[in-house]
Amino acid sequence: MDASTFDAVDLIRTKRDGGVLTDDQIDWLIRSYTDGGVAAEQMAAMAMAIYFNGLGPDELHRWTHAMIGTGTRMDFSSLSRPTADKHSTGGVGDKITLPLAPLVAACGVAVPQLSGRGLGHTGGTLDKLEAIPGWRAGLSNDEMLAQLEDVGAVVCAAGSGLAPADKLLYALRDVTGTVESIPLIASSIMSKKIAEGTGSLVLDVKVGSGAFMKTADRAGELARTMVGLGTAAGVRTVALLTDMQTPLGRTAGNGLEVAESVEVLAGGGPADVVELTLALAQEMVAAAGVEADPAEALASGRAMDVWRRMIAAQGGDPDATLPRARHVDQIRADRDGVLTELDAYAVGVAAWRLGAGRARKEDPVQAAAGVEWHRRPGDQVRSGEVLLSLHTDTEERIPRAKEVLAGAWQIGDAAPAVRPVVLDRIDHGDG
């Protein structure tokens, strides 16, 4: 069908008034927007109409496949082992990809982790790994396939060829208040994951103050929508709903999170990071149809061996000293008691303000900046003890980070209810 087949204004009116778009209309709209035939302001109006009126299951399916159709698809069928990928909807201190990719590879599964950079209060996996001297994110498809066959795990930048419509649409949604729409988030994430060509996919859908989805109901709906899209496309897809009211582990910041991940691979590390890494690894290994025990692969040091090879294969030095911040400031407890709260969103914003994240996608990030919390909810604290350390190369950033942390933690008399790391598991989709 040529570009004059439909009129974008008619399609916007249909969706605005609660109508249903046809397959041909959706195909035309996505293709014409990507080619420049539909203007950004028209697509912005459509995104807002979808924000309010949603997409039905058939529309969503077609929308996702129309986005995939604007680009190339990868093919891992030449590899000698099955593939599994993980996608997290993003959280504070979420460094799980770093220990998880080598751990799952050590179990005999190939892990192609196409990752992104951070924007706003959640960090990006590539920014974290770039704290390792020499490590590079950009690989050609051939380099990626060779590393997957040889080492078993790759974490690299997604090329511009996968679902280019999503790149345009996501940037547009970011500046038009239309990011928080379940059909738009689900089609955005799943178009890239399906185009990537993985055989199985485990989704880590975060719930809480530090996540996109603030409630378990919304997170569950997003998870079921994505599992439905993946399954219909022939990708074995499972989702875990996991807590993001409290930040994960003990650190948020690029180099700080690499150091924490290496501790996990060495058999230590914070209990919640170990628990979530193992839970996701078990799901990935099972979805790939491989019988292996991730806990054994971690304890034996095989996951650490794969990590070292994975970093070295991309030019990084696994033994290099990670950068240290020029300034470290501290926040201390003001009374004796139990830490009852540490708010993930505030910690994420503080790390960002210290220089770990970026406000615009072209901004540089500081490898050593971030927040370290020395106590977690449920821990006893004594007056005067250090609760939080703030790391930055730019001292003048510290007051603004302290400002956002001022109401972010509470000390009480009674321990808070223990919040599980994994809240739910979803293996059936909607639609």
Would you please indicate which residues are annotated as catalytic (active-site) residues?
87, 166, 173, 188, 192
Contact 172, 36 (CB under 8 A): no
Side-chain-facing half-sphere of 420: CA atoms under 13 Å: 9
Q: Which stretch binds ligand URA (CB under 6 A): 19-27, 35-43, 180-188, 415-423?
A: 180-188
Nearer to ligand URA, 183 or 355 (CB): 183
Q: How far is the CB of 390 from ligand URA (least distance, A)?
A: 27
Burial label, 36 (beta-carbon count in 10 A; 0-12, 13-18, 19+) = exposed
Q: Considering the rule CB under 6 A, would residue 189 count as an interface residue with ligand URA?
A: yes
Within 393-412, the residues that bind ligand URA by CB under 6 A are: none
Q: Considering the rule CB under 6 A, would residue 366 count as an interface residue with ligand URA?
A: no
Q: Which stretch binds ligand URA (CB under 6 A): 16-24, 184-192, 244-252, 333-341?
A: 184-192
Q: How far is the CB of 11 from ligand URA (least distance, A)?
A: 21
Nearer to ligand URA, 63 or 170 (CB): 170
For 262, residues 6+ apart whose C-beta sits below 8 A from its C-beta are 307
Residue count, binding to ligand URA (CB under 6 A): 6
Integer CA distances (angstroms), 173 to 43, 89, 197, 336, in order: 9, 16, 25, 46
Nearer to ligand URA, 302 or 358 (CB): 358
Q: Considering the rule CB under 6 A, would residue 170 count as an interface residue with ligand URA?
A: yes
Q: Which stretch binds ligand URA (CB under 6 A): 31-39, 185-193, 224-232, 412-420?
A: 185-193
Q: Considering the rule CB under 6 A, would residue 162 count as an interface residue with ligand URA?
A: no
200-207 vs 236-243, strand pairing mode: parallel
Nearer to ligand URA, 114 or 351 (CB): 114
Q: How far is the CB of 192 from ligand URA (least distance, A)?
A: 6
Q: How far is the CB of 187 from ligand URA (least distance, A)?
A: 8
Nearer to ligand URA, 211 or 367 (CB): 211
Q: How far is the CB of 358 from ligand URA (least distance, A)?
A: 16
Nearer to ligand URA, 60 or 354 (CB): 60
Tell me which residue of 174, 211, 170, 183 sits closest to 52, measured CA to CA: 183
Near ligand URA by CB under 6 A: residue from 8, 185, 190, 278: 185
Query: SS in 3 state form for the chain?
Result: CCCCCCCHHHHHHHHHCCCCCCHHHHHHHHHHHHHCCCCHHHHHHHHHHHHHHCCCHHHHHHHHHHHHCCCCCCCCCCCCCCEEEEEECCCCCCCCHHHHHHHHHHCCCEEEEEECCCECCECCHHHHHCCCCCCCCCCCHHHHHHHHHHCCEEEEECCCCCCHHHHHHHHHHHCCCCCCCHHHHHHHHHHHHHHHCCCEEEEEEEECCCCCECCHHHHHHHHHHHHHHHHHCCCEEEEEEEECCCCCCCEECHHHHHHHHHHHHCCCCCHHHHHHHHHHHHHHHHHCCCCCCHHHHHHCCHHHHHHHHHHHHCCCCCCCCCCCCCEEEEEECCCCEEEEEECHHHHHHHHHHHHHCCCCCCCCCCCCCEEEECCCCCCEECCCCEEEEEEECCHHHHHHHHHHHCCCEEEECCCCCCCCCEEEEECCCCC
In this chain, which residue has its C-beta nearest to ligand URA?
188
| Contact pattern for ligand URA over residues 46 through 85, marking x by CB under 6 A | ----------------------------------------
Nearer to ligand URA, 32 or 225 (CB): 225
Q: Which stretch binds ligand URA (CB under 6 A): 92-100, 179-187, 246-254, 337-345?
A: 179-187
Nearer to ligand URA, 189 or 387 (CB): 189
Q: Considering the rule CB under 6 A, would residue 178 count as an interface residue with ligand URA?
A: no
Q: Considering the rule CB under 6 A, would residue 188 count as an interface residue with ligand URA?
A: yes
**Contact footprint for ligand URA (CB under 6 A):** 170, 179, 184-185, 188-189
